[in-house]
Amino acid sequence: MDLGGRPVLRDVHLAIAAGEFVGLLGPNGAGKTTLLRCMLGLVRPRSGRVLVGGRPVRPGAAAIGYVPQRHEFTWDFPISVEQAVLAGRTGRIGLLRRPGVADWRAVGEALERVRLSDLRRRPVGELSGGQRQRVLVARALAVRPEVLLLDEPYTGLDMPTQELLGELFSTLAQEYAVLMATHDLPAAMHDCDRLVLLNRTVIADGRPADLRERQVWMNTFEVGERSHLFTMLGLDPVMLDTETAVA
């Protein structure tokens, strides 16, 4: 896959099934955002295909629910929580049509799934960071997708809020295929049942408990063997040889 004539991703083979919560990890510039955009049909790969339920993805496809980073949403716009969630169905409703009973029912179900029904009338500008994140999740669920893509959902949130969201995502993964791009490695190790390490290609793919080899993390994040990264991951630090160190 190229952007501006420069190769960004190559040989990426990735399959995600309903019931999986998959973390997509890699350094800045690894191609995580490009991969998400490709899955959304916004970037066309030079070769290969993106399929959901055996069908090719097209831009705006309802089969995929996308949860963007919070800063990509205009929170000072004067709309309520339920209106923000309803906006997720614009592609289905159409710009010049009024929402029908089915649309409002989908909004209500989505708000109930993220436990925001009691705040449906509240202006989005009055919400906390965690509540705003749940609004974006509800907006994605309102299209009744098969796949959920989460882009850095934990950024800027405190630990209790991250834990609540992690529980929500794990619950949703029982029904949907969930792929989360994140820089929060400890949260991904804790919450996800599978990790994909990406740096322009897939370096490793497996359960967190199986990804204990330092080399795959070193190759992915391009760090040395004494990087603080391993402390974050809960891996044992490299011990210096005493005689070598003294000499």
pLDDT tens column, 7-20: 789 989 999 999 99
Angle between the N-to-C axes of helices 159-172 and 129-141, in degrees from 0 to 180, rounded to the nearest 10 = 10
Q: How far apart are CA 122 and CA 229, in angstroms?
A: 41
CA distance 186 to 244: 33
Bridge partners of 177? 147
pLDDT at residue 240 in the model = 44
Helical segments of the chain, H only: 32-39, 81-86, 90-93, 101-113, 129-141, 159-172, 185-191, 214-221, 229-233, 242-246
Global model pTM greater than 0.85: yes
What pLDDT is stored for residue 142 in this prediction?
Answer: 95
Q: How far apart are CA 184 and CA 167, in angstroms?
A: 15
Contacts of 19 (CB under 8 A, 6+ apart): 173, 174, 175, 177
Return the CATH number of the domain spanning residue range 2-246.
3.40.50.300
Determine the Cα–Cα distance for residues 217 and 204; give it in Å rounded to an integer.
9
SS3 243: helix
Tens-place pLDDT, residues 177-205: 999 999 999 999 999 999 999 999 999 99
